[in-house]
């Protein structure tokens, strides 16, 4: 019943057994095995087969006339519709950004009445279907036949063309989402940054513009990019007020030649192209505002697609 060797332990050096030497060094291969990823291979086969089957459904379908698709892809009216769709999206995005930034900062204001007004805005425009908002703006004349005050007024329908109504509805709706994106971006910047800026004697305006927004943008660009892609697609909703967009034009043609599916396919192809370009733009912006994760300040080309030519630079610059 003696306690285990505490007494003799003292400051005696504990002896460790020497690492056992293998009697002889066994022959070991140097090459690393390259396993064949059988699971992944099956996945690829299934994916390719599935996509091929979908394409075949389209291409080898007696009800689908690819010649009509080809013929209408560059139809003058389709191209005009495409231009209108882009105009809708770009105008609505610009106006939406301006309003959204103001509303977003309103939601963060120290002044309660601003916060409430901004919250109300977001609540209204996010809580009603976009298509309803488009219809409301498009039919504004039913509610207010004349616009303006006193001697200065005109027929509502002269101002609220389908284009103006569509842009207004899309912009106000987009602004509500931008406002939320701005709010989350700005709150993602640590409070200490504002304190440091104040301690340096920087004004609110300089602090926001030079310090908070550039940092917030990194967080804001991915959701803002998604919002823009969504907006691009949502422009097709102006078909309900005959907005003259891509889908409206496609349907107009279809109503004459009865090739509904073919013309929907034409619209689809153009949307795929346009949204893909937008996605590339988003990636470029993301990289641009990711400056702090690079080792050195960026010199050299800053044009879109720049990353395609410098395949490894992204990895080299990523935080270790």
Partner 1 sequence: MSRVDLWGVELSYGTEQVLKGVDLSVADGEVVCVIGPSGAGKSTLLRLVNALLLPDRGHVLLDGELVGRRARGGRLHAMPERDVRVQRKKIGMVFQKFELFPHMTVMQNLCLAPVIHKDLTPAQARERATALLARVGLADKHDSYPGRLSGGQQQRVAIARALMPDPGVLLFDEPTSALDPELVGEVLSVMRELASEGITMIIVTHELRFARDVADRIVFMDGGVVVEEGVPAEVLDRPRSERVRTFLERV
Binding site for partner 1 (CB under 8 A): 190, 192-193, 195-196, 198-204, 206, 210-211, 214-215, 218, 289, 291-297, 319
Closest approach of partner 1 to the CB of residue 294, in Å: 7
Contact 174, 231 (CB under 8 A): yes
Minimum Å gap between C-beta 111 and partner 1 is: 15
Name which of 146 and 291 has its Cβ closer to partner 1. 291
Q: In this complex, which beta carbon is closest to partner 1, that of residue 173 or of residue 218?
A: 218
Q: Which is nearer to partner 1, 70 or 291 (CB)?
A: 291
**Beta carbon of residue 50, minimum distance to partner 1 (angstroms, whole number):** 43
Q: DSSP states of 2-34 as a string?
A: --SSHHHHTTPPPPPPPPPPPSS------SPP-
Phi and psi dihedrals of 217, rounded to 5? -55, -40
Q: Are 186 and 153 in contact (CB under 8 A)?
A: no
Q: How far apart are CA 79 and CA 82, in angstroms?
A: 5
Q: Which is nearer to partner 1, 131 or 217 (CB)?
A: 217
- Pinpoint the alpha helices (H) of 127-259: 130-138, 140-143, 156-159, 162-187, 191-199, 204-206, 213-234, 246-257
Residue with tokens 């609505």: 92
Smallest separation (angstroms) from partner 1 to the CB of 316: 13
User: Looking at residue 145, what DSSP letter applies?
Assistant: S
Least gap, CB of 117 to partner 1 (angstroms): 24
Q: Which is nearer to partner 1, 58 or 204 (CB)?
A: 204
């Amino acid at each position: 019943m003696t306690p285990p060797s505490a007494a003799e332990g003292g400051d005696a050096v504990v002896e460790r057994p020497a690492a056992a030497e293998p009697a002889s060094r066994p022959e070991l291969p140097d090459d690393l095995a390259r396993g064949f990823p059988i699971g992944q291979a099956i996945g690829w086969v299934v994916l390719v087969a599935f996509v091929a089957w979908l394409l075949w459904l389209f291409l080898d379908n007696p009800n689908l006339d690819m010649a009509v698709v080809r013929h209408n892809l560059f139809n003058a009216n389709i191209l005009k519709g495409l231009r209108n769709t882009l105009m809708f999206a770009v105008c609505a995005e610009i106006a939406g950004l301006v309003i959204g930034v103001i509303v977003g900062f309103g939601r963060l204001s120290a002044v309660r009445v601003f916060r409430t007004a901004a919250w109300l805005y977001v609540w209204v425009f996010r809580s009603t279907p976009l298509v309803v908002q488009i219809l409301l703006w498009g039919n504004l004349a039913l509610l207010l036949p004349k616009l303006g005050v006193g001697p200065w007024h005109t027929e509502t329908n002269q101002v609220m063309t389908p284009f103006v109504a569509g842009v207004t509805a899309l912009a106000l709706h987009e602004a509500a989402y931008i406002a939320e994106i701005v709010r989350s971006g700005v709150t993602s910047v640590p409070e200490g940054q504002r304190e440091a800026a104040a301690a340096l004697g920087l004004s609110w305006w300089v602090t926001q513009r030079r310090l908070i927004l550039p940092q917030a943008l990194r967080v804001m660009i991915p959701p803002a990019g998604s919002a823009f892609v969504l907006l691009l697609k949502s422009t097709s909703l102006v078909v309900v007020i005959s907005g003259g967009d891509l889908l409206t034009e496609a349907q107009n043609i279809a109503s004459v030649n009865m090739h509904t599916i073919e013309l929907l396919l034409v619209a689809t192809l153009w949307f795929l192209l346009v949204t893909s370009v937008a996605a590339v733009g988003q990636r470029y912006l993301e990289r641009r505002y990711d400056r702090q994760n690079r080792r050195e300040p960026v010199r050299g080309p800053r044009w879109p697609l720049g990353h395609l030519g410098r395949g490894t630079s992204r990895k080299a610059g990523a935080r270790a």
